[in-house]
Structure 1
């Protein structure tokens, strides 16, 4: 990309240069930027467009420097035109994966356009949005946030429905859209809408591939797919920095309204025309600002802010048709419900899930739909987790404080239920799934400041009551066991529906994740059950659903799922043991469950051994806690298997228990493991007492 080496004096009057040179060249560059080049030269046409715009800027700079050639109005107009050329070139530089050049050009453009920002609102919005993308992809989230908040400020100050831009005396930049070519010839093609208001004018394409080309080379899309709305199905990015996703159809192209047949309310053409092109464009760009802010806050793990702006995005997409695609919108809305479940706002969570369900229904998407069945299944999973959490939240309503402690001790060491998946990073709406979050938008015309949770309502859908919270009190829990059973049945129906799509053959991770959720659903109901036999039956149902996976899965191919499975089964059987022991039942009542718990804890611990069967020197940090807890629980179980009728096995079990306690203490001391002081104390006491007990047992058998 070479600029002209020499700077000639302007040879035409300013108006002739604008009409004959500037506008035709910009239109030509726009057309070049839309060309799809071959894979071996993917940016050939865009490079040519940048070159033409660079030469054009070189020519325009000559007018700016010429003494006495331009009147004050023309000189101001020239400076803004140069800034607009920098904005166009910066946008193309980002498209061609040159973020350093894009940063330089966009920063230069924004500094000039900000001098009279009220005349350049849309151009500045776009520049700040793209600068936010660049700095987020560099993992500089604070700087990305500052640019995006500046774009938000511009919208609220000048373009929010209650605001009217202050008039200025300066003439606008030449209206490229109205240009019809030189007098001697017609030029085909149209420029961007509202170029007269200095909106960015390069059409960045309509495909996801073209849009994603803005992402910095080497970066990957947002790392956690559903996994992510997350930690089942969590995937990790190979790049150290997160990439800010750019939704398809973004850019300075005017947003297209949703089809009339979609059944969703959007602004009519007459309404949009009455507002003017700049208002429509500013609204679209602010939707993009909200979307980018949601991702930046997701990368920064500021879940409240992420959810707020994701909700603003969803609401604006629905009302205004900005990048509205029913499938992606429903997925994102289902995911955002997870945040409200986490916050205990079950009413809003149910509203989001009902909205997602209705959008899918109106779009004719079912579990059997080839492209979209997974989204229907994900919405069902969301419903299942909502009902599951309602039951879990009801535990304190069924027990006194003292009983709660007893139940906690009896519930076993099972892992925290995976009610929500961590999908803090958002995928582009057309290419992936978004993250869960809270996002209550304000009505247009109001500042989108920190809202209350209950504000997220999709009024245009006219949603009927779902009855999802039937029987719940003001805390979101149920007080009657019969109501808990109703929630349980609704949750089971939702999970079973999701399993129709996520079958084991082809969807191993998702299938197992749902079965783990079903296990947790049974566990929560067991907390509310007072009958010992029924409690044990609920736990046995958990094991019955999960045990077939032990033989069905290859531990090498699905090591993560295998470990979670064996640990879960060990905890289930130990919970049965604890329930029986809490009622002082004999060994015959809890022995089989104790032996199964030993079996699965052993399988879990053995999965960490290397190919030679050697115990690991250091367990990965993310799995260390479960590994150590399994050692302790297994040691306790071997002690509980102490059987006076079998002297040889009795001593063998006590020795194994001592070995496990000793191994635990050595590991914790060697690696300075934190947060296990109480367990360390108990294990140290057991390690001191067991040798005496073993010696006494051996002496008694002689």
Structure 2
């Protein structure tokens, strides 16, 4: 009969290596074969324990090299753990939970099991049903209490096993959407690691080293591997906690664990550069959303640094195999994604700059100023000391600008980054991403125009937006991309309206009536805005009747009503050369204002949604007929 060690290695090879080559028709073939061997190992180890018949509960795990009984129990726990993992991966979740809990009992960490929900009392169907009702907490068998930690649970031979079991149970309960239970297991894994660091001086054993025999020289290598393996398990605990806190609605805690995961990966030099860069860039978007731009910039700079370090490896001349091609594709996409995140960072920074230029509440502005020292402290805690990124950070500001000269470099950097991203996300291959990037470029111009004092130059910036968006919408089939075309048509309408306002402001500042060329330009811009607002509204029409819906959907009601409001305003701004044309324009304006008023009267719940616009519309519905009558009198 093969030795225990040989049987274990054979089972591990089936599970870890050969399972990747299983056919789609038999996806679990190798894992089932590994399970059979692990079951045989379990029987042999059980017989050994019965034959030894020794109570090793008093710290025997730390003496496995002396009496052998502790090693047998540790091996039994490892085999049961593997059976649990295989059961989970083959979708036998209740069986997997049972094995993992049993492994904890063997290790001596049975006190932590009560913090979860036992499948012996709660079936999978009940778990899923409770999760759908949002009542999963009612299924907890008892209130979680922090149980004491047994010395055997943090013994060098078993601490990795105990943490692995809790990590796996954390994943299991997360997949059941019972995140509070998942968190308790992950907190326990965290606690076991901390207690091991405090109490144990011997290096930990890896799970696999329990089934190997080595000489003194090899044992030193095992010690190093054991330390690395334990650190990696602890990093995984942090990673899973980040996901769980996100699901529990605690984003700050989730972000902290995300950052700690990235920090630990850097320290251990055990990470995939592509994944690390993407995760750091994604985390940056969370912090920029909280207006913690210094932290966000550091994360993005770190992502760029790690990615650039990987570039040489990707560019090394190699035979064009499938793996090499895939690696290069991953790199190019990651490069575009990081560039896109930089572009979004610049856009958010510009938009915040616009908001702060006109603060609504002086107390709110004061709280922002008072909050900055705390942000500086947080920045130091969230720095990756392993990376030197000051050169990358110096390329763009980390605080909102106050004038055109301060925001222009941010605009240029954002435009450069988004242009880089657009080169990968082409319209032919990545329609949605390409459209989103073009819209972000348009918003960059919009934010910069806010700080431009010259009406003429501001109008040119809006013209850049028009050129970008018009070229885009002309390439899209509205039948297949109706939602995207709606967005673009609406933004074009708003842009043309803004350009018209700029031209009107130039005329008003001159203190005279518009010249024929000025009047023509104003009317062209207003007519273009009207045209695109109508394109947007036409896309909302009922396919069968061809009419506007009697009730707009929740996500389109305000944009649609605002479009009617703008149409009323735009018709009234057209420059007319005679009274008759002016009367016709005002009649169109009145008709659109009435549409908004009548809709809100039919749907009273919309009145609060359109409070300011509705008040203006009601007033115009009263005033415009009087003005039209005055014009008729003058034309007689």
TM-score by length of 1: 0.68
Alpha-carbon shift at residue 547 of structure 1 (Å): 1.0
Partner in structure 2 of residue 524 of structure 1 = 447
Structure 1 residues 621, 62: CA separation in 2 closer, same or farther (over 3 Å shift)?
farther
Contact 1:398 1:528 in 2 (8 A): no
Superposed, 1:612-627 pairs within 5 Å as 612=544, 613-627=546-560
Superposed, 1:159-170 pairs within 5 Å as 159=197, 163-165=198-200
**CA distance in 1: counterparts of 2:307 and 2:47, whole angstroms:** 57
Superposed, 1:84-483 pairs within 5 Å as 84-113=78-107, 114=109, 115=150, 116-119=152-155, 120-159=158-197, 163-165=198-200, 176-179=210-213, 273=221, 276-322=224-270, 324-364=271-311, 370-395=329-354, 452-466=378-392, 468=394, 476-483=399-406
Query: Secondary structure at 2:392's aligned position in 1?
Result: coil
Contact 2:74 2:210 in 1 (8 A): no
Partner in structure 2 of residue 206 of structure 1 = none
Superposed, 1:634-649 pairs within 5 Å as 634-641=567-574, 643=576, 644-647=579-582, 649=584
Deviation track 1:463-514 (CA, whole Å, cap 9, x = no partner) reads 34236466x5xx8133453332233222222222222222222222222222
**CA distance in 1: counterparts of 2:463 and 2:22, whole angstroms:** 61
Contact 2:242 2:256 in 1 (8 A): yes
Query: Secondary structure at 1:524's aligned position in 2?
Result: helix
Deviation track 1:628-660 (CA, whole Å, cap 9, x = no partner) reads 332333333334448545056225413431442
Deviation track 1:654-685 (CA, whole Å, cap 9, x = no partner) reads 3431442135415642x667644444444444
Alpha-carbon shift at residue 453 of structure 1 (Å): 3.7
Contact 1:331 1:379 in 2 (8 A): yes
Alpha-carbon shift at residue 150 of structure 1 (Å): 2.0
Structure 1 residues 297, 593: CA separation in 2 closer, same or farther (over 3 Å shift)?
farther
Query: Secondary structure at 2:491's aligned position in 1?
Result: helix
Moved more, 281-290 or 492-501: 492-501
Which structure has more RCO (C-alpha within 8 Å, separation ≥ 6)? Answer: 1
Partner in structure 1 of residue 528 of structure 2 = 596
Alpha-carbon shift at residue 390 of structure 1 (Å): 3.4
**CA distance in 2: counterparts of 1:108 and 1:165, whole angstroms:** 24
Alpha-carbon shift at residue 625 of structure 1 (Å): 3.4
Partner in structure 1 of residue 591 of structure 2 = 656
Contact 2:523 2:575 in 1 (8 A): no
Partner in structure 1 of residue 37 of structure 2 = 52
**CA distance in 1: counterparts of 2:629 and 2:163, whole angstroms:** 79
Moved more, 292-301 or 70-79: 70-79
Alpha-carbon shift at residue 355 of structure 1 (Å): 2.2
Partner in structure 1 of residue 147 of structure 2 = none
**CA distance in 1: counterparts of 2:81 and 2:400, whole angstroms:** 54
Structure 1 residues 139, 506: CA separation in 2 closer, same or farther (over 3 Å shift)?
same
Alpha-carbon shift at residue 153 of structure 1 (Å): 2.1
More helix by share: 2
Structure 1 residues 685, 106: CA separation in 2 closer, same or farther (over 3 Å shift)?
farther
Contact 2:161 2:207 in 1 (8 A): no
Query: Secondary structure at 1:555's aligned position in 2?
Result: coil
**CA distance in 2: counterparts of 1:385 and 1:362, whole angstroms:** 23
Structure 1 residues 118, 400: CA separation in 2 closer, same or farther (over 3 Å shift)?
closer
**CA distance in 2: counterparts of 1:495 and 1:177, whole angstroms:** 53
Alpha-carbon shift at residue 351 of structure 1 (Å): 2.4
Partner in structure 2 of residue 253 of structure 1 = none
Contact 1:341 1:389 in 2 (8 A): yes
Partner in structure 2 of residue 213 of structure 1 = none
Structure 1 residue 548 corresponds to structure 2 residue 471: yes
Contact 1:634 1:660 in 2 (8 A): no
Alpha-carbon shift at residue 592 of structure 1 (Å): 2.2
Query: Secondary structure at 2:54's aligned position in 1?
Result: coil
Deviation track 1:122-167 (CA, whole Å, cap 9, x = no partner) reads 11211111112122222222222222222222223324xxx45278
Partner in structure 2 of residue 27 of structure 1 = 9
Contact 1:631 1:664 in 2 (8 A): no
The answer for unaligned runs of 5 or more in structure 1 is 1-18, 181-192, 195-269, 404-450
**CA distance in 2: counterparts of 1:695 and 1:146, whole angstroms:** 75
Contact 1:338 1:349 in 2 (8 A): yes
Alpha-carbon shift at residue 686 of structure 1 (Å): 4.1
Contact 2:456 2:502 in 1 (8 A): no
**CA distance in 1: counterparts of 2:586 and 2:359, whole angstroms:** 40
Query: Secondary structure at 1:461's aligned position in 2?
Result: coil
Structure 1 residues 379, 77: CA separation in 2 closer, same or farther (over 3 Å shift)?
closer
Partner in structure 1 of residue 121 of structure 2 = none
Moved more, 650-659 or 279-288: 650-659
Contact 1:87 1:109 in 2 (8 A): yes
Alpha-carbon shift at residue 284 of structure 1 (Å): 0.5
The answer for unaligned runs of 5 or more in structure 2 is 61-67, 110-149, 316-324, 363-376
Contact 1:632 1:664 in 2 (8 A): no
Contact 1:635 1:660 in 2 (8 A): no
Contact 1:391 1:524 in 2 (8 A): yes
Contact 1:347 1:469 in 2 (8 A): no
